[in-house]
Structure 1
């Protein structure tokens, strides 16, 4: 899978993240860590952080997710928002 094939983050509702610009993630690629937390979340210290393109999912540590294949996300797109942590993968699902 090349970076052009990584799933995009279709929406991020975490207003306190430096990569979030008008509910659009601009991190080059995020990592979903244990507990479905967005490991790339950075509190609003760096204004307008990230790249001009939509953020993508670079890695997923949740091997029990139905979208996970060899620690790579295969979902068409993901949503990030508040869950157990301030920034969680809301697309996470188990079989």
Structure 2
């Protein structure tokens, strides 16, 4: 898989993340991680300072949720992913996660 084949983060509605700007992710790539049924965005950073690149379409760089139907060899094969607020301790979740 090359960087041009990596799935894009098509939407991120987690406005508390430093990489979020106008419901878009500006990190070069995110990592999807998590446990206990949650597919967390491991790149979520809740700082007041904004980060990331101004003109970027973020991508999924890695996914440790091997139990997701889109995961092959710890890489995401979805066409695109959406990230949104999670429940309780999970501030940012991959909404595209689908258990096998």
Write the distance in 2 (CA, Å) between the matches of 1:91 and 1:67: 9
The structure whose residues are more often helix, as a share, is 1
1:42, CA displacement in angstroms? 0.7
Write the distance in 1 (CA, Å) between the matches of 2:61 and 2:72: 12
After superposing on structure 2, the runs of 4+ consecutive aligned residues of structure 1 that deviate more than 2 Å are none
1:46, CA displacement in angstroms? 2.1
Write the distance in 1 (CA, Å) between the matches of 2:82 and 2:58: 11
Stretches of structure 2 lacking an aligned partner (at least 5 in a row): none
Stretches of structure 1 lacking an aligned partner (at least 5 in a row): none
2:45 paired residue number: 42
Could you give the per-residue CA deviations for residues 32-79 of structure 1, whole angstroms, max 9, x where no partner exists? 1123110100113322x1122111100000001000000000000000
1:87 paired residue number: 92
Question: Cα RMSD (Å) of the superposition?
Answer: 1.0
